[in-house]
Amino acid sequence: MSQIGVPKYASVHALRLAERGVTYVRVQWVDLVNTVRFRILPVSYFTRLCETARPGVGLSHVTLGLVGLNAAEGFNGTGEHLYVIDLNSFRLCPYAPGQAVVMGWFQEKAPLPNGSLANPLCPRTLLKRIVDEAQAKAGLSFLAGFESEFILLSAISPKPVTVVDGDWSCTVGNTVLMEIADDLQEAGLELQMIHAESAPGQFEVVTGPLSPLEAADAVVHTRETIYNVASKHGLRATFAPRLHADNCGNGAHLHFSVHSSKPPATGARPDAALAPTLTATERSFLQGILEQLPSLCAFTLPTSASYARMVDGIWAGGTYSCWGMDNKDAPIRLCGTQGAHHFEMKTADGTSNPYLVLASTLAAGLRGVLSGAVLTSGDCAKPVAFMSDAERKAVGLENPLRLPRTVGDARQLLQGDQYLREKLGEEFVTKYAAVNKLLEQYMRLPSEEETITRLVEYY
pLDDT digits (tens, 9 = 90+) for 368-423: 999 999 999 999 988 899 999 999 999 999 999 999 999 999 999 999 999 999 99
**Cα pseudo-dihedral 84, 88, 89, 95, rounded to 10:** 120
In this prediction, the residues of the chain whose per-residue pLDDT falls under 70 are 1-10, 157-158, 163-172, 266-267
In a domain, 2, yes or no: no
Check residue 7 and give its pLDDT: 45
3-state secondary structure of 196: strand
Q: Let me know if residue 379 belongs to a domain.
A: yes
Residue 443, classed as helix, strand or coil, is: coil
Same domain, residue pair 76 and 173: no
Beta bridge partners of 60: 80
For residue 55, the 8-state DSSP code is -
DSSP symbols for 299-334: HHS-STTHHHH--TTSSS--SB--EEET-TTSSEEE
Does residue 136 share a domain with residue 112? no
Using an 8 Å Cβ cutoff, are 366 and 134 in contact?
yes
404 domain residue, yes or no: yes
Q: What is the pLDDT of residue 157?
A: 66
Model pLDDT, residue 3: 38
- Helix (H) or strand (E) segment spanning residue 439: helix 426-442
Residue 4 lies in a domain: no
Q: Which of 183, 193, 170 is nearest to 228 (CA)?
A: 183
Say what the pLDDT of residue 167 is: 56
Integer Cα distance of 336 and 319 in angstroms: 24
In whole angstroms, give the CA distance from residue 204 to residue 296: 24
Q: What pLDDT sits at residue 28? A: 98
| Strand, coil or helix: 409 | helix
* Residue 15 host element (H or E): none
In this prediction the pTM is 0.95
Is the residue at 127 inside a domain? Answer: no
264: DSSP letter: P
List beta partners, residue 361. Answer: none
How far apart CA 127 and CA 121 sit, in angstroms, is 11
Question: In this predicted structure, what is the pLDDT of residue 158?
Answer: 65
Helices marked H in 170-235 — which ranges? Answer: 171-186, 212-232
State which of 90, 119, 148 marks the end of a domain: 119
- pLDDT for res 268: 77
**Could you tell me if residue 5 is inside a domain?**
no
406 and 263 within one domain:
yes
State the residue range of the domain holding 95. Answer: 12-119
pLDDT tens digits for range 38-90: 999 999 999 999 999 999 999 999 999 999 889 999 998 888 999 999 999 99
- Verify that 92 and 234 share a domain, yes or no: no
Sign of the torsion angle spanned by Cα atoms 36, 39, 41, 46: negative
End residue of a domain, out of 86, 119, 152 = 119
Do 427 and 289 belong together in one domain? yes
Is residue 429 included in any domain, yes or no?
yes
Q: What is the pLDDT of residue 16?
A: 94
Helix (H, G, I), strand (E, B) or coil at 367: helix
Give me the number of domains the chain comprises. 2
Same domain, 177 and 72: no
- What's the CATH number where 417 sits? 3.30.590.10
Same domain assignment for residues 140 and 283:
yes
Query: Given CA atoms 276, 295, 357, 204 in this order, what sign does their dihedral have?
Result: positive
Residue 56's CATH number: 3.10.20.70
Residues 351 and 378 in one domain: yes
Q: Are residues 188 and 102 in the same domain?
A: no
* Cβ–Cβ under 8 Å, residues 345 and 355: no
The domain boundary residue, chosen from 93, 119, 145: 119
Residue 124 lies in a domain: no
